[in-house]
Structure 1
Amino acid sequence: MSDFKKAWVYLENGMFFEARSFGANKTAIGEIVFNTSLTGYQEILTDPSYAGQFICFSMPEIGIVGTNPQDIESSSIFAKGILVRHYNEKYSNFRSNKSLQEFLISHDTMGIFGLDTRLLTKTLRTQGAMMMIASTEYSTKEKLKELLSQSPRIEEIDYVKVVSTKETYSHKEGRFSFKTMDYTLPQTKKKILAIDFGIKKSILRELVNAGFSVEVIPHNFNAQAIITAYQAKAFDGIFLSNGPGDPKVLKTQIIELQKLISHNIPIFAICLGHQLLALAQGYETYKLKFGHHGGNHPIQNLHTKKIEITAQNHIYSVPEDIAKIATITHRNLFDGTIEGLLYKNTPICSFQHHPEAGPGPLESSALFNEFSKLLQKTK
């Protein structure tokens, strides 16, 4: 075994732990949430929606398959770190090229193991997500409490401007093929603008797979420029991506979205994009107690009555009274919250869950094709 340094963890409810570090040795502050996925820790780590958060894995064994170049969802790790029960130094997978420890250190991200993650998960379910501090530098409860009290809360920070692309770019590759060990290059028939609030690569690949050529633009978009381009037939629709933090922080983007909505442009949104659409139309989002994070969450399609197992990563939700302007198409079977909306009299649909999964089941991936069909109707 490696000589792992000691690490200390303090939660704002007063819980204090001594553990071990297998990632970057430093001090970091963020919000702690738990994730129930059994696999896919690398995709979860590199999902920009986790910016500013510590991820507590309920799966006790982490690190077994190492890491690889294909399962990276963004340019970096934006999460503050991960908390696990057991870290496995020895890894084995035909695609892996480095250990999880090496991957974390290369991205200056904390990894803490030796914690009772079952206790942490039960605590978060009971008391809700909360702020925490982890450190390999400070060992006393009093010092950690002091540092945590001086730090801004996650809902006060705009993490979208950190994770979003700074330059416009085109994305052309589809899903990864294990037969060719390369990405597919499907034919595309429609062009879509993807507004990047923290977009995942697997989302872009699913859009390409559904027949879209994709141009990704930064979060600080100009609505009038987009409207002018749409009227000139430069593209066919807009995609609003997932992303981190409280959607209410993005005041400028909400105003710009109001302008896009008023011009009847086809829009497909997931996760943070789903929440921003609600806010842009005057419906207040609210914070869930501990959120939905994992690859095993059941939802029901209210039209077909079918149940789908989905990937989820959010802690905010849209209100029930949005049914005044939108048809509720999907509901979460854990707590009944809204998972899908089809807006009335407009070519706009939005979903709270992740139809691209990454990691998780692809039972909801048909939503990408459904948006393609919606575009056909609005030609």
Structure 2
Amino acid sequence: MNFTEYIDLLFTDYTLQTITLGTAVLGALCGMLGSFAVLRKQSLLGDAISHAALPGIALAFLITGSKDSNTLLIGALISGLVGTFWIRGIVKNTHLKSDTALGLILSLFFGFGMLLLTFIQKMPNANQAGLDKYLFGQAATLLTSDVWTMCVIAGLSLLVLLVFWKELKLMLFDADYTKSLGFNIKFLDVLITFFIVVSIVVGLQTVGVVLMSAMLLAPAAAARQWTNSLSVMVGLAAIFGATSGVLGTAISASANNLSTGPVIVLIAAVFVLISFVFSPKRGLLFREIRYWNNRKDLQLNKTLAFMYHIVKTHENIDHPHAIKILNSFQGFTRKSLQKLEDREYITLNKSMWSLTEKGFEKAANLYNQSEENE
């Protein structure tokens, strides 16, 4: 199926509409909440929570014997919350740092979850098949009820962000100051962490345990490169996440044997790569351009300061000097003279040069600064 056929099918096939809407909502939700995880320097939190949710899925099946997605996700939510509070408890009550606690909980819960899945697969019960979809995700199994659940959670998350926007923003950048204003830091921390856990849990069916952390962090990391504003970052991250979901679903549906979850994550990774290279303020490309421009400006400034050193012995700054005087100056080129003339710092007359009034003032400032630095 080519892309044109996919577009036509998108308006007629109810299943494809459901999957596309679900991945778009999930991407927007993860991008929106992932911004707070990135800014709070809790990038590993998404990985730990997604892996911690696996034993909850397995235990929910063992207890109920049902593969109903809502039942399994409730188990994942409880397990994820337990893992989250264990991490907080380890950091608070021991000398271990957060990255160590995250790594411990991730390994412990994921190992336990894999053990339970192995046990379930060996049970004489035909109903256990399909639980492994939560490892790598299977977007094709999304139902309308799943999409509605995502929409409700996304709406609640947006409402919470709007209601507590000022407090959350203050907490991100200065928690002590927020506490001094009388706001409950612990409540705000638990609140945003809870919704991050919920967003991860609802995405397990689509993206899977292994890749869910990338879905949470990649759109936010990409958005961070384009802005210093929290509101703009959250909006951009939601757009990047939703676009990754839609494009990933389209590519997966247009090609054979491509799993939707990994494709969505790869599209999100492309957004990160483009942002890291091409963003105007932080992008590697523009950083190199600024670096070379600064080097060129430095060369011109050094030449201009040397000219001032020559001219200041004359009462008339318009007094012409031979270009050959500059030949011994390190870094001097005739191209630099042309650039100085283009900026109206000097005037050229064949083999002679002289400073303009504008160039003399600029050169005097540069010369004085260089003397102060010495």
- Using the size of structure 2 for normalisation, the TM-score is 0.22
> Taking CA–CA contacts closer than 8 Å with sequence separation of 6 or more, which of the two structures ends up with the larger relative contact order?
2
Larger Rg: 2
Q: Larger % of strand: which?
A: 1
- Which of the pair is proportionally richer in helix? 2
